């Protein structure tokens, strides 16, 4: 379609025809079928259950822990530990973590990229204003002995519209939307990882604080026992070897105190980093291990919901969707393209003449372009997209398998924690009694100091291992919440997952 017309009436007829043709072309383009494969969620078979016992109640504790199949995860699962200080730290991390804030901003950028793609479905309109002065010699003007200067002004609107005949633009929108979904899944993953890491670090910090306190208590006991050995040595009831061994035992136990202190302080520093604070943050609360309640009920949900809720699976599915759309984009690039363009405006020798009838101009043109030879670039680009699609499908399957293995591993560990905790309770009780009897027998002269030393070291190991077994039950319970997706979908008004339109200078960065 190529045409030109002048005059006010002609331009009006031209604009009506132009708008009608654009509407027809837009409707035809948008209503046409898009080339390339259609994305469909995989029908990967899902197991009916995780195959783990529902009762994890240790025989030596009053804290029952039972799996509840079919029960959905709470949105704020960390409150199941019934500790206000822990909940406060998680809330602080969600509000101030730079990692989470950056993930939210990245999602906002991805959303804007999606909206920008919709421009391809609409005509592009530009306003142009030109003032041109040219000097024409005789050969140009055709007038003998002339060397004139010509001046004119051009004021018009130009438009160009690429008809989406094969759905390439729509597949581009589809791809950017899928990319946005992948970024959103990464935001959900950042949320789940952040909350899980805060809870795990709080438990680890409480465990190390308890180990440090118990180690200090053992040093006090060893110091008191050294005084007993010294008194016995003074009256000849203990040998010099016994005294030297007790000095060595006290030194060894004392050397463990700074080691536990370093681990404890490092854990507090890591916790401060997770909640957006500095290492010397005075607002960091001290949480005792006894103040953390083991969740009595562990909601397991159903296996099929893992596909919907695990952020890594959602991200892999979105990437597969984007790879599917990319095939359509590559295929559409090899097909003919139809572009409609035109212009409407006035041309005048002087600015004041723009209102003079007869200076109007209007142009409408249509152009069809078919790629003929591109050196194989378009063909190989389509084949590359198809190969990426196949790889994306296998990557999705690998992520699904890994996710279910992760859940099964955590459940297996929780089941093992029950047996380990029971054994450690009995070991600590037996070691404590053995140490008491060994010390009593030694004071009565019924055993050697070597027996006492062995009993003391056994008790020290049993005590630390019992503390770690208690912490492991708490940590693995938190790991189950994380492995099942973290419950982000159960927070109806979660502002931590909703990007805000906040510019950098509004955050004080540029102030």
Q: What's the confidence (pLDDT) of residue 21?
A: 52
pLDDT above 90 for 6: no
Task: Give the residue from 462, 465, 466, 436 showing the smallest Cα distance to 451.
Answer: 436
Name the residue with higher pLDDT: 498 or 430: 430
On average, the pLDDT of the chain sits at 82
Which range (9-23, 81-95, 333-347, 387-401) has the least confidence?
A: 9-23
pLDDT above 60 for 498: no
Strand order in the sheet with 360-369: 2-5, 360-369, 337-348, 148-163, 124-136
Percent of the chain with pLDDT over 70: 80
- List, for residues 456-484, the tens digit of each pLDDT value: 888 888 888 999 999 999 999 999 999 99
pLDDT above 70 for 1: no
- List, for residues 401-437, the tens digit of each pLDDT value: 898 889 989 988 888 888 888 888 889 899 889 888 8
- Decide if 482 contacts 80 (C-beta within 8 A): no
Q: C-alpha dihedral over 377, 380, 382, 383, to 10 degrees?
A: 180
Strand bridging mode 297-301 / 66-69: parallel
Indicate the pLDDT class of residue 184, thresholds 50, 70 and 90.
Answer: very high
The residues spanned by each domain of the chain are 34-121+166-335+398-504, 123-163+336-369
- Decide if 378 contacts 185 (C-beta within 8 A): no
Which range (5-19, 140-154, 451-465) has the least confidence?
A: 5-19
Indicate the pLDDT class of residue 16, thresholds 50, 70 and 90.
Answer: low
Q: What's the confidence (pLDDT) of residue 72?
A: 83
> For the residues 117-121, what does the mean pLDDT come to?
90
Q: What's the confidence (pLDDT) of residue 396?
A: 92
pLDDT above 80 for 31: no
Indicate the pLDDT class of residue 210, thresholds 50, 70 and 90.
Answer: very high
Which range (7-21, 35-49, 93-107, 245-259) has the least confidence?
A: 7-21
Q: What's the confidence (pLDDT) of residue 136?
A: 59
- DSSP letter at 55? B
Name the residue with higher pLDDT: 8 or 198: 198
pLDDT above 70 for 4: no
Q: What's the confidence (pLDDT) of residue 196?
A: 95
Q: What's the confidence (pLDDT) of residue 350?
A: 74
Tokens 């499908």 -> residue: 393
Q: What's the confidence (pLDDT) of residue 454?
A: 82
Q: What's the confidence (pLDDT) of residue 153?
A: 79
Give the dihedral sign, CA 68/74/78/82.
negative
pLDDT above 50 for 508: no
Rounded to an integer, what distance in angstroms lies between the CA atom of residue 247 and that of residue 209? 26
List CB contacts of 491: < 8 A, sequence separation 6 or more. Answer: 75, 76, 497
Q: Write b or e for each residue in 237-270: b if 16 or more Cβ atoms lie within 10 A of its Cβ, otherwise e.
A: ebeeebbebbeebbeebeebeeebeebbeebbbb
Task: Give the residue from 37, 87, 88 showing the smallest Cα distance to 329.
Answer: 37
Alpha carbon of 355 to those of 35, 150, 154: distances in Å? 48, 20, 13
Task: Give the residue from 22, 12, 11 showing the smallest Cα distance to 365.
Answer: 22
Which range (41-45, 187-191, 335-339) has the least confidence?
A: 41-45
pLDDT above 50 for 501: no
Number of C-alpha atoms within 13 angstroms, CB side, residue 49?
A: 8
pLDDT above 70 for 148: no
Q: To which CATH superfamily is domain 123-163+336-369 assigned?
A: Outer membrane efflux proteins (OEP) (2.20.200.10)
Rounded to an integer, what distance in angstroms lies between the CA atom of residue 22 and that of residue 26? 6
- List, for residues 45-96, the tens digit of each pLDDT value: 676 666 665 555 555 555 557 877 778 888 899 999 999 999 999 999 998 8
Indicate the pLDDT class of residue 358, thresholds 50, 70 and 90.
Answer: low
Give the dihedral sign, CA 81/85/90/94.
positive
Q: What's the confidence (pLDDT) of residue 504?
A: 42
Name the residue with higher pLDDT: 264 or 45: 264
pLDDT above 80 for 447: no
Indicate the pLDDT class of residue 506, thresholds 50, 70 and 90.
Answer: very low
Task: Give the residue from 442, 329, 308 showing the smallest Cα distance to 389.
Answer: 329
> For the residues 285-308, what does the mean pLDDT come to?
85
Percent of the chain with pLDDT over 90: 35
Three-class secondary structure of residue 367 per DSSP? strand
Indicate the pLDDT class of residue 142, thresholds 50, 70 and 90.
Answer: low
- Decide if 198 contacts 271 (C-beta within 8 A): yes
Q: What's the confidence (pLDDT) of residue 493?
A: 59
> For the residues 202-212, what does the mean pLDDT come to?
94
Architecture of the 34-121+166-335+398-504 domain: Up-down Bundle (1.20)
Name the residue with higher pLDDT: 16 or 315: 315
Indicate the pLDDT class of residue 171, thresholds 50, 70 and 90.
Answer: very high
Residues in the chain: 511
Q: What's the confidence (pLDDT) of residue 53?
A: 57
- Decide if 486 contacts 304 (C-beta within 8 A): no
pTM of the entire structure? 0.80
Rounded to an integer, what distance in angstroms lies between the CA atom of residue 344 and that of residue 156? 5
């Amino acid at each position: 379609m190529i045409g030109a017309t002048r005059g006010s009436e002609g331009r009006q007829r031209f604009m009506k025809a132009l708008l009608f043709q654009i509407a027809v072309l837009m409707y035809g383009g948008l209503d046409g079928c898009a080339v390339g494969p259609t994305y469909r969620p995989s029908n990967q078979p899902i197991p009916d259950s995780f195959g783990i016992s529902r009762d994890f109640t240790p025989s030596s504790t009053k804290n029952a822990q039972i799996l509840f199949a079919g029960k959905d995860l709470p949105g704020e699962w960390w409150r199941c530990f019934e500790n206000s200080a822990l909940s406060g730290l998680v809330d602080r991390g969600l509000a101030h973590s730079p990692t989470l804030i950056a993930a939210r901003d990245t999602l906002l950028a991805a959303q804007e990229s999606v909206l920008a793609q919709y421009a391809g479905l609409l005509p592009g309109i530009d306003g142009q204003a030109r003032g041109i002065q040219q000097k024409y010699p005789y050969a140009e003007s055709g007038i003998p002995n002339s060397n004139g200067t010509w001046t004119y002004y051009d004021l018009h609107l130009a438009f160009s519209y690429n008809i989406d005949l094969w759905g390439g633009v729509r597949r581009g929108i589809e791809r950017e939307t899928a990319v946005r979904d992948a970024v959103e899944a990464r935001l959900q993953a950042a949320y789940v990882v952040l909350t899980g890491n805060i809870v795990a670090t709080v438990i680890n910090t409480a465990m190390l604080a308890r180990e440090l306190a118990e180690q200090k208590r053992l040093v006090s006991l060893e110091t008191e026992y050294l005084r007993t050995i010294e008194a016995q040595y003074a009256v000849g009831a203990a040998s010099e070897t016994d005294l030297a061994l007790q000095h060595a035992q006290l030194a060894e136990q004392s050397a463990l105190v700074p080691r536990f202190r370093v681990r404890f302080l490092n854990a507090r520093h890591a916790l401060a980093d997770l909640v957006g604070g500095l290492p010397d943050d005075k607002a960091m609360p001290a949480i005792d291990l006894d103040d953390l309640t083991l969740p009595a009920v562990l909601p397991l949900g159903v296996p099929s919901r893992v596909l919907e809720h695990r952020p890594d699976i959602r991200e892999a599915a979105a990437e597969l969707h984007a790879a599917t759309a990319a095939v359509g984009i590559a295929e559409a690039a090899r097909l003919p393209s139809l572009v409609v363009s035109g212009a409407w405006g006035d041309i005048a020798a002087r600015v004041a003449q723009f209102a003079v009838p007869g200076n109007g101009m209007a142009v409408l043109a249509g152009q069809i372009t078919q790629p003929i030879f591109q050196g194989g670039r378009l063909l190989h680009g389509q084949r590359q997209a198809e190969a990426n699609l196949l790889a994306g499908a296998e990557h999705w399957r690998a992520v699904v398998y890994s996710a279910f293995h992760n859940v099964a591993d955590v459940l297996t560990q929780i089941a093992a924690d029950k047996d380990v905790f029971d054994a450690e309770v009995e070991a600590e009780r037996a070691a404590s009694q053995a140490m008491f009897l060994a010390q009593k027998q030694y004071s009565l002269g019924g055993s050697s100091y070597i027996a006492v030393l062995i009993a003391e070291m056994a008790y020290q190991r049993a005590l630390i291992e019992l503390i770690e077994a208690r912490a492991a039950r708490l940590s693995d319970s938190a790991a189950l919440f994380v492995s099942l997706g973290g419950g982000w979908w159960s927070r109806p008004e979660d502002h931590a997952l909703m990007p805000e339109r906040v510019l950098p200078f509004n955050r004080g960065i540029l102030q």
